A and B are shown apart, each in its own frame.
Chain A
């Protein structure tokens, strides 16, 4: 029997794309991913979930609804935890139930549970998913192994490519973008931020380029248990980047009403202020006006470039630790919290 399974291109899809696609391909299941995010998807998502939900969840609903009449099943794994002693996020944990409560008609959901917080039960997860399509346990596990290999190969390639370019001395400004995968890689949501930065002469660094290994090594500097995988990723990357040499800037990008980033972003801001690294915080929401974003990024990049080009060891007496000005400037549909610090 030939099944068509739909995977919404949202949330963890950006992190595990290779894994899901290889796994289902190995099992001989036809996969249909929803298309790139667009205005229609966001609108439909926002209309079908509670207003208080965060932007990525709304986008997820939009993608799932787009798949509704094209597939036999929708794949919505309940990913509780992907590593020991850490969770993803309460909303991701409740995602299948949230989607099931949607008012619109949806095909049956495939919702296997992945919880590696206490025990390593990846195999059960693979079997729970695979058993929908085949009774052959061996085939499922082999498919899973190959999928895992494909995913780690992909992750490693990203890190290695960055390592190669890292040491080349050029005029590009190194800028770290701190954000979740589903914001950094969804070019509609982030309004092509990475391309924009490259055009402004920046060397863009993302958490996936720094790699899991380094992140885990540096997150140990955090004085308590960081129990969110995203938190481990973001703060780990930040500590790693912050301790490296050279002048640089950090862009913290988060989505409106993101519970995790409200804390992680704030902890990151405090760390950056202490280190004297300039940063800007951008908050994305359903609005699509680009001008506000462009202005802010340009201003920010101009500032760090001036800082680099000005006399070495020049210390501005004005605006020392101007950071942490709380408050949202809602302009052109973009919520942004502007905070830079000079030293």
Chain B
């Protein structure tokens, strides 16, 4: 966006204050993402933002009305915000770029495509690195080393100005990660994490569930990475990758129709993980999320059929950690027991 002649104001990272602000202004039974989103927007306004950019939608998930509701909420709260709403890029990257170009005034197509390409490369590299971190977390000797390196690496990525610098930063971070001392003998559980995209991608929303699972000795794989989403929705599936159609096919014995959001992907990805020999599935969704409630209802049947344990966790504005920790520990203990892995006592503390 900065290349389009705007000043971009990043809201501070999501915190308890963000959620409190969001909760105060949002409808009570709305889902967590909009509450956080409104909190972010209010905090950005405090830093001087006057316009927000938001995607629209055509349903049936509530996300499609986020932009409209946010606009009205912020108006009623007395914050003078202008809204730029981008309709969903159903027609591939060109439509999307056209809409962006309309917003940015004096930008050439070349710049736009280059900017988009660079962002995409960055997202792919971050995802690659994160996959490595997910592998190392359960095996590292000193807990938290991989995450420290990862956080630092993200900063160096932000400073990179072109693809070469990005690759250099990636190579360096990768080397550092591979040199982390690891336990040789650890038996590691493999857990697939599925669910609604926002709660999967925003660690604060899911209370850092991936890190927690890592600390408990589980290797985590997510069903959706941001680069997959961009590839699927913005590039229109031009590039190879796990396509949603595959998930639809896998989910069809249990859920035979698109239900909005990522409901069907959650079910399909669970079946996929089961086939790939994973030990368990953790399903995360925001409280009252409509598509994920459908997925949650059919998952027990899929779980029984594919013989893979599934635990569903709903997240909301409550930030107490103990309940989640206990449940994750208990779930992993059960999985370990099933595989006779009970040789090491791993707890959260």
Contacts and interface: CB of A to CB of B under 8 A. Distances in A.
A270 interface: yes
A187 to B, nearest CB: 24
A101 B76 contact: no
Interface in A42-91: 49-50, 52-54, 78, 80, 85-91
B29 A94 contact: no
A161 B68 CA distance: 36
Interface in B51-108: 56-62, 64-65, 67-69, 72-73, 76, 85
B259 A94 contact: yes
B291 interface: yes
Contacts of B257: 78, 80, 93-94, 97, 113
A89 B60 contact: yes
A327 B27 contact: no
Contact of A53 (B31, B58, B255, B297): B297
Interface string B26-53: 1111110000000000000000000000
Contacts of A94: 255, 257, 259, 263, 291, 294, 297-298
A262 interface: yes
Interface string A227-261: 11000000000000000000000000000111111
Contact of B301 (A100, A266, A273): A100
A97 B256 contact: yes
Contacts of A52: 287-288, 293, 296, 314
A266 B300 CA distance: 33
A169 interface: no
B217 interface: no
Contacts of A88: 60
B290 A89 contact: yes
A164 interface: no
A337 interface: yes
Interface of B: 24, 26-31, 56-62, 64-65, 67-69, 72-73, 76, 85, 254-261, 263, 287-291, 293-294, 296-298, 300-301, 312, 314
B254 A228 contact: no
A259 B255 contact: no
A273 to B, nearest CB: 8
Contacts of B294: 90-91, 93-94, 97-98
A299 interface: no
B297 A101 contact: yes
A121 interface: no
Interface size class of A (residues with CB under 8 A): 35 or more
Contacts of B62: 259-260, 262-263
Contacts of B69: 263, 266-267
Contact of A93 (B31, B57, B58, B259): B259
B27 A257 contact: no
A273 B77 CA distance: 13
B297 A93 contact: no
Contacts of B296: 50, 52
A324 interface: yes
Given A52-B314, A91-B259, A266-B30, 15 more contacts: A50-B312, A52-B296, A85-B58, A94-B259, A97-B255, A97-B297, A98-B294, A101-B297, A225-B58, A226-B65, A228-B60, A257-B288, A262-B29, A262-B62, A337-B28
A64 B339 CA distance: 39
A4 to B, nearest CB: 25
Contact of B293 (A91, A225, A328): A91
A94 B266 CA distance: 13
Nearest to B69: A263
A320 to B, nearest CB: 14
A104 interface: no
Contacts of B31: 259, 262
B59 A267 contact: no
B28 A327 contact: yes
